[in-house]
Amino acid sequence: MIDEATLAQMNGEYLMPPDAGPAWRAAAEYGFDMSLIEDALQLTPEQRLEQHQRALDLILEVKEAGERHAAK
Amino acid sequence: MPQNDKALLSRLKEQKVEFVIIGGVCGVLHGASLVTLDLDICCRFSRENLRRIEAAAKDLHPCHRLTANKLPLELTDELCGSLKNIYLNTDLGILDCLSEVAGVGDYEEVLKQSISHSLSYGEFRMLNLDALIAAKSAVGREKDLSTVKLLQAIKERKEHQKELF
């Protein structure tokens, strides 16, 4: 039997780390997906930059596809 | 035009440009989940260093991206003495070179408030987290202030978990 809290997390609710400080909580409340930050902090700076490049490439690809579509 | 920060950084390194990574890419290196469409650096605006930037971009069709006619980057000694910033569009994306950073200061001050980090393609300097927070706060746009919230959270977490970079 899955409890309610676990189910909520499965559905995307962020589990605040027990040791989260006020700035961390404020950023989460502001709307940042802090689970992404937790993941990013486990990476090296070089890996973070590579991840950023992949995201950027995807965004630009979608943008270009949109522009091609609009030009038709 | 695709943005390739790694290639731009490698070229700057190859030409021995004196610079510090600032802006969004610096935030990414510190762990922020941002997507930024340009590479911002703060650099020494000496003639020699500006010539190095020109050499790094020379076969990338660099142009002053904010000029009406997208003037090509063609430095002269006179121009080097007048420029405070260089906003470039290149075949590898946007490279913005600033002589100072609001909230931090000129290149010497930026250099003092930077940290060195080794990537597989070289050793680079980037603003430390406190200086990046000061810079973003000084700009004061809504998107920068929201980034400040994120950077403050990252700073807090890193202070708590010393093993994190």
Average pLDDT on B114-127 reads 96
Q: Are residues B90 and B57 in contact, defined by beta-carbon separation less than 8 angstroms?
A: yes
The pLDDT tens digits for B48-77 are 999 999 999 999 999 999 999 999 999 999
State yes or no: pLDDT of A23 exceeds 70.
yes
Average pLDDT on B27-32 reads 97
Question: What residue type is B84 in one-letter code?
Answer: K
State yes or no: pLDDT of A34 exceeds 90.
yes
Say yes or no: ipTM exceeds 0.90: no
Distances (CA, A) of B131 to B23, B116, B124: 11, 14, 16
Spell out which residues of chain A touch residue B33, defining contact as CB-CB under 8 Å: 32-33, 36-37, 40
Of B3, B28, B157, the CB nearest to A41: B157
Residues of chain A above pLDDT 70, percent: 100
A62 interface with B at CB cutoff 8 Å:
no
Instruction: Please judge whether A37 and B150 are an interchain contact, meaning their C-beta atoms are less than 8 angstroms apart.
Output: yes
In this prediction, residue A11 carries a pLDDT of 86
In this prediction, residue B106 carries a pLDDT of 98
Cα of A10 to nearest chain B Cα, Å: 22
Of A32, A48, A56, the CB nearest to B29: A48
State yes or no: pLDDT of B39 exceeds 80.
yes
Residue A30 pLDDT level (bands cut at 50, 70, 90): very high
Question: What residue type is A66 in one-letter code?
Answer: G
The interaxial angle of helices A45-71 and B23-30, nearest 10 deg, is: 130
In this prediction, residue B53 carries a pLDDT of 98
In this prediction, residue B1 carries a pLDDT of 66
- Give the long-range contacts of residues A21-30, CB within 8 A, separation 24 or more: A21/B153, A21/B156, A21/B157, A21/B160, A22/B156, A23/B149, A23/B152, A23/B153, A23/B155, A23/B156, A24/B153, A24/B156, A24/B157, A26/B149, A26/B152, A26/B153, A27/B149, A27/B150, A27/B152, A27/B153, A28/B153, A30/B146, A30/B149
The pLDDT tens digits for B78-103 are 999 999 999 999 999 999 999 999 99
Residue B3 pLDDT level (bands cut at 50, 70, 90): very high
Q: Is the pTM of this model over 0.80?
A: yes
